[in-house]
């Protein structure tokens, strides 16, 4: 065998032997693997709000692509915002703010528009208050707004944060309501109190609160029947539920109004009526992934000065997200 081959074999053997010794002693780390390239999240807010973004964005893109920011430009900008159900008052205020900045180009106007909308949605406290022992969250809204699924998603969020949650099934009108709530509860692993033929929602709320106390739960979420805001007797009934809970707990940590995002300006009438009846403290707008009326978020907040706390952007258990004004504005009209 040639000398060169023998030398090469010896060198390879020595190198391998040294590597094995070093690995056993911990001196050499295992080969590193490059992390996969970052990709856009499949449930990105921009995609989920695609209908509103297209409806509003197409108009804005055509408008902002003009050379002249003349009187027609400002009138059409306001009309575009109103068409997205932002409301006349909010749209007028936003356009006035953009105009006062005197942008000279469409690109500058877009930046100013984003800034004005972020400022309008501003510095509200959007945290979920859970200071009670247990914390009490009453969820209200009209028929079909998505209350029960919102409750399940909220319970999943709270459980993920390490809190123990109990659900109160105080929707005593709809036959399938208790079954639907329990199906969701089984999926996320939280108990339900109520049902069993009970007909008085205030009694169910009372029993649920006492059960939550006895079990030392962190949070009690009360489901209620959907009701039209114009039905006085039903609004009186939900007011009774709120009174019972406030009497027992001292206060309700949150009264969340769930609004269907496809309802447009009707959301304002709902919010006014429920606020008068039970003192709404926070808003949840659902079904925004299927609506071209995403501007209603701005309208409701501005009219009633009630903070938007969550938005629903899909049917999945993780499709209830904390409302962030900057992200929302960027998803609707950002570049």
Which CATH number do you get for residue 211?
3.40.50.300
The answer on 266 and 146 residing in a single domain is: yes
pTM of the model: 0.81
Residue 280 — pLDDT band, cuts 50, 70, 90? very high
Q: How many residues does the chain have?
A: 335
- Average pLDDT of the chain is 81
227 lies in which domain range? Answer: 135-324
Domain boundary among 121, 143, 171: 121
Q: Which pLDDT belongs to residue 254?
A: 96
**Mean pLDDT, to the nearest integer, of 157-179?**
88
The more confident residue out of 225 and 10 is 225
Q: At what angle do helices 106-121 and 325-333 cross, to 10 degrees?
A: 150
Q: Which pLDDT belongs to residue 190?
A: 95
| Closest C-alpha to 203, from 177, 167, 170, 237 | 170
The answer to whether the CB of 166 falls within 8 A of the CB of 134 is yes
pLDDT tens sequence across 58-73: 788 888 877 788 888 8
Residue 245 lies in a domain: yes
pLDDT tens sequence across 202-215: 999 999 999 999 99
Residue 295 — pLDDT band, cuts 50, 70, 90? confident
Residue 165 lies in a domain: yes
> Nearest-5° angle of CA 169, CA 170, CA 172?
105
Q: Which pLDDT belongs to residue 100?
A: 94
The answer on 313 and 224 residing in a single domain is: yes
* DSSP single-letter state for residue 129: P
- Where is 260: in which H helix or E strand? strand 254-260
- Give the Å distances, CA to CA, from 78 to 36, 60, 72: 44, 10, 10
The answer on 90 and 188 residing in a single domain is: no
The more confident residue out of 331 and 93 is 93
User: What are the residues whose beta carbons fall under 8 Å from the beta carbon of 199, sequence distance 6 or more?
Assistant: 172
């Amino acid at each position: 065998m040639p000398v060169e081959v023998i030398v090469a074999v010896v060198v390879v053997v020595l190198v391998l032997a040294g590597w094995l010794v070093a690995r056993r002693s911990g001196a050499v780390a295992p080969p590193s693997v490059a992390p996969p390239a970052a990709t856009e999240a499949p449930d990105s807010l921009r995609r989920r709000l695609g209908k509103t973004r297209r409806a509003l964005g197409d108009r804005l893109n055509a408008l902002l692509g003009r050379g002249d920011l003349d009187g027609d430009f400002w009138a059409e900008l306001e009309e575009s915002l109103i068409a997205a159900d932002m409301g006349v008052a909010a749209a007028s205020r936003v356009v006035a703010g953009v105009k006062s900045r005197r942008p000279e180009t469409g690109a500058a106007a877009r930046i100013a528009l984003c800034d004005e909308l972020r400022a309008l949605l501003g510095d509200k406290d959007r945290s979920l208050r859970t200071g009670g022992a247990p914390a009490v969250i009453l969820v209200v809204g009209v028929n079909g707004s998505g209350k029960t699924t919102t409750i399940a998603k909220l319970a999943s969020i709270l459980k993920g944060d390490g809190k123990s949650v109990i659900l109160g099934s105080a929707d005593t009108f709809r036959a399938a309501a208790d079954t639907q709530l329990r199906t969701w509860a089984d999926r996320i692993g939280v108990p339900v109190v109520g049902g069993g033929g009970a007909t008085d929602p205030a009694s169910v709320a009372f029993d649920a609160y006492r059960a939550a106390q006895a079990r030392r739960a962190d949070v009690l979420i009360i489901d209620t029947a959907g009701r039209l805001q114009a039905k006085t007797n039903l609004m009186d009934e939900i007011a009774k539920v709120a009174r019972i809970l406030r009497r027992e707990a001292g206060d309700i940590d949150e009264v969340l109004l769930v609004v269907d995002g496809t309802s447009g300006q009707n959301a304002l009438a709902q919010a006014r009526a429920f606020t008068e009846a039970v003192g709404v403290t926070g808003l949840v707008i659902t079904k925004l992934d299927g609506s071209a009326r995403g501007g209603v978020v701005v309208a409701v907040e501005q009219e009633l000065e009630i903070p938007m706390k969550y938005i629903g952007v899909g049917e999945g258990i993780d499709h209830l997200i904390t409302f962030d004004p900057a992200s929302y504005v960027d998803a609707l009209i950002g570049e």
